[in-house]
Amino acid sequence: MTDTTQAPGQMSGNVLFYNQPEPLNLEQHGKLGVTAVDKPYGFVGTSNLVPLTVTEFAPAALSYPVIFIGETQKQPVAVMGLRAGENFYIEDNGQFRADAYIPAYVRRYPFVFANDDVQKRLILCIDRTASFLTEGGDTPLFVDGQPSDYTKQAMEFCNNFEQERQRTDSFVKLLTDLDLFEVREANFTPRNADGTAGEPQKLAEYFAISEDKLKAMPAEKLAELRDNGALGQIYAHLVSLLGWDRLIALAFTRAAQTPAAANA
């Protein structure tokens, strides 16, 4: 896995998953609708990192390691694969594994807010390349020249997501100001044929919250983190790091199912 202390290019500048975002409007998109398609989450299958908001740490921790990436940004993400371009949680039918948490970042697709720097507002956009957006689709985006109930619900979801994104930014800033981050490595020690331990292999390097720094904090600061809810999210993140073992197990399962690809 590549060094995840640096945010991947697709997460800085271009928006992950969105190939052709367009401001939603009646003139261009009045005939569009959403239709069920094969492999509905196929667009997630080529990304091993998916952004999370802070309130998702606890449910996401049951499925993935929750880590922070980017030297400055420290974006929280769910790790879904050990290398760029792979995702162990999207099955061949394009669905998430039944036991996996689906991040809100994925659930809002193909909608997304964009900044209007001129009017200082957010504009609702859609990814025009989304496979399930078609002319005359079963669930229209507009009805009688007005946004449909589906579109209104999507806008509300994006509004809520934006609030959670801002809350996440504040959470990261708080941890940064308290100097609680450290660089960590995820390592794997294979077994030799005779059962002895092989050479450790580094899977990833990333930012995590330092347990030692957390323990060294004054009691009143810990109380503040407890009272504002940050401490619970911190522990959810720390517990999630046990999930690296799950990812390794999934990697072995995937390799066993596709031996030709594994040996290529």
Domain-located, residue 175: yes
**Please, what is the average pLDDT of the chain?**
89
CB 109 within 8 A of CB 130: yes
In a domain, 225, yes or no: yes
Q: Is the pLDDT of residue 7 over 60?
A: no
Task: Give me the long-range contacts of 149-155 (CB less than 8 A, separation at least 24).
Answer: 150/34, 151/24, 154/108, 154/111, 154/124, 155/111, 155/124
Domain range for residue 46?
9-257
Q: Give the list of residues 6+ apart from residue 169 with CB closer than 8 angstroms, or none.
A: none
Percentage of the residues of the chain whose pLDDT score is greater than 70: 91
Structure tokens that stand for 86 in this block: 């792979």
**pLDDT-derived band at 253, boundaries 50, 70, 90:** confident
Over residues 34-44, the pLDDT tens digits come to: 999 989 999 99
Instruction: With cut-offs at 50, 70 and 90, classify the pLDDT of residue 179.
Output: very high
- Name the pLDDT band for 252 (thresholds 50, 70, 90): confident
pLDDT band at 120 (very low <50, low <70, confident <90, very high): confident
Residue 129 lies in a domain: yes
Mean pLDDT of 61-84: 96
- 133, 110 in Cβ contact below 8 A? yes
The answer as to whether 3 is a domain residue is no
Q: What is the pLDDT of residue 2?
A: 42
**259 band by pLDDT with thresholds 50, 70 and 90:** low
State pLDDT tens for residues 205-214. Answer: 999 999 999 9
| Domains in the chain, number | 1
**Is the bond into 51 cis (omega within 30 degrees of 0)?**
no
Residue 1 covered by a domain: no
Q: Residue range 122-149: average pLDDT?
A: 95
| Tokens encoding 152 | 């209104």
Q: Give the per-residue pLDDT at 168.
A: 97
The predicted-structure confidence for 87-117, as pLDDT tens digits, reads as follows 999 999 999 999 999 999 999 999 999 887 7
pLDDT of residue 255: 83
Q: What was the pLDDT predicted at 260?
A: 53
Query: pLDDT tens digits, residue range 20-33?
Result: 999 999 999 999 99
Q: Give 198's pLDDT tier (boundaries 50, 70, 90).
A: confident
CA distance 155 to 160: 9
Per-residue pLDDT band for 264 (boundaries 50, 70, 90) equals: very low
| 262 part of a folded domain | no
Contact 262, 229 (CB under 8 A): no
What pLDDT is stored for residue 11 in this prediction?
Answer: 31
- Say if 2 falls within a structural domain: no
Q: Are residues 28 and 22 in contact, defined by beta-carbon separation less than 8 angstroms?
A: yes
- Tokens representing residue 206 in the block: 């990333």
How many CA atoms lie less than 13 Å away from 48 in the CB half-sphere? 21
Q: What is the pLDDT of residues 182-196, one digit of tens each?
A: 999 998 877 777 767
In-domain check, residue 264: no
